[in-house]
Chain A
């Protein structure tokens, strides 16, 4: 007979966390080694420590390092947001891409970027993404408050996504810059190519705040599984929890999309895969999902760089190829397991 010791002994969870951290570190190093050009990392690092600025050091520090950091930051934000949203609406299908948060963030960012606001005031770019994301999450929350059925969620997501995508295309077409209309694919599919440290600094503050807000709800999220009344009676302040998650998702995903475009499905796949390893507790899922998201996105980014296409494949295409069938499988499975 299984014992109660599993409760106190979080062995499985700790092991998972450690494995994810190791995977992350390994992929981090690999990411620095992958690129168009063959570099000897060791020599380059030696050069850097000797304060020798060489072409190789520029490639490593200004091209590969920021890209890798972005993959980690954005992947973590996407994984964490997916898990947090799912805990909040108590539905395994909630995910920034599916529910239209990413597309709305893209709309906000596009309006800021192509109409000159970002040149005047760089922080306007992530702020645009954040505002767009916020509107979508608030709408989603209002819709699912009394009804978290799968159908409502998917339909709401479709509506918000379609509308935002259409408005984004419109904004791009109205932009004075002739290249704008061609760039819609970036905003809807996402890419980490040619990003620099500027982008890392742009999103770092709001991302960290967003993470903190979401992580602060992790104990309350577990209790929320028992329903609003029971959770409240156990001391959970539901309004405060919802606000933190809404704001946290908007801050981290909004900023991420503003520099990388909309990358989808990470927040769906990662929490779902990891859930059994944390005893299905939504609160315990948060940190693991963040790590898992970073690992997944980093792996996808490395793959995209290794694929021999003339123009680099947009990373969102890869995550969609993985995530969309997964999404379908989830819907079909859920009909049997977790009743709507």
Chain B
């Protein structure tokens, strides 16, 4: 005989403002099988929980229905309270009177009636609940970090320093990411490579970190604590164990005119190449698309000059499988090529460049050795114009958001220009100045007040070339929209920060959510910035949204702590809301007929075949069996099963039918 306790919460005024809670509790008290029914202001508080506990003990309750907020808020709270009072936690159900009722309806009788219905159906359901026990799964204490930029590097080091193993994969031949392309960083004007490379070396030398560059994620299976990842190690065409990084091959390679990706197309590289001198690992890869050997079958100069015989033309991609417990995604972002701005002439005029290209010009290891020179004729520009918001904050071109870092790097670029070209004149066309970080505002003021950068508030309508100069047609909105025309030698566009190509495919492989701009989605915009909605997968850095270096580093450390806390336990407990195939007494054994439709339906490959044998070892029947470690309780198999032989614990057929009937019947 059931003895159900009903506890209706006011949730302050969140529920009681539109629902008559007292009436709900009173009505519930009249149902068959309800031994106790009460309403209270804050069920989740200590006194509220004590109310539940004492009711369980005093009335010998066999089931509890807490009618309050969403289970996503407080299911753990109330389950814990029941457990403490000696009732199996899975005998506790929650009726969502808040998100499903009081918050979406106006005050009135209909709303209270709906609340009464919601309570009734769960009272009926809970009569069919069974005691369940949590499942324990082991945790693999190895983390996978995808992406070797500053965020990935930081996350790897932090996790490795807690004593756990890290596998770091990076799709480019070297780690370092965009930070390695920068000249100096705001607001300190530190040399970017100088502060980055020690970290890169630390990663390479750390005993707990295994680094694979030129590698990408091929596929992912499993769940938190128990992932299986396949990693594709693209063929570098080099035997890394033999290669010493001497550099003979890159010096002698005859194909020298390939536009360098690291230099954003402003410099050239060879077909066998190391992306930049401080690369980690400092070993080359062969670009098979441009290498003469792969195109025509000739050359092989690198093989001839290599002192250790490390060239392997026939090397193939390798797929390796690893077992990991958690994943940190740190794949970063990219800048959008502004050729969707035909009025600015990018791609048509050589001297209209992007901010990242300017970084390469300003960098001492760049194609012009740190001198600002025009790509067209190599001359030093006397007048330079910077355009802010060249892509961001532009719904007409498809990107309505602000890319956050451009105001700061434009000020930095203008300052670097003024430092390098004494007597040069620089202009910045801006709409707003966003300088919200520590020391950021002061940095921008220095550009304006100390370095004489001319800031003009207004956007540029178009840029065209005449007599070797770039004519910039802008406006000063602070002077009654007075036209401002500048004959510039070079124009730098602050392009939008966008998600990497391939971000969508990666998100789908990882089963994580992403937004319309292909940035990966955090679990909660305010309170869970480094977690995703997929348990065990965390985010760090600009793959979630454009951001600067200090924020990326902070996020990476945050993600690392989440991983470390996951690894601090030897076992993970999982909810027992999983599918089970029924078993009965012989000779039936199970109503399952062995059609195995569920096996093909299961998205998690969690169902196996079980052979039932007699004492002689002969197989009597083959039926389905659910692996409790892999099952996620999605219920797809239940929908497929034609004989209703498979059920979800906690959401059985019986329980579901009871809820529906309770809703339809007048009580």
Tell me whether A and B are bound partners.
no
Interface residues of A, Cβ cutoff 8 Å to B? none
Interface residues of B, Cβ cutoff 8 Å to A? none
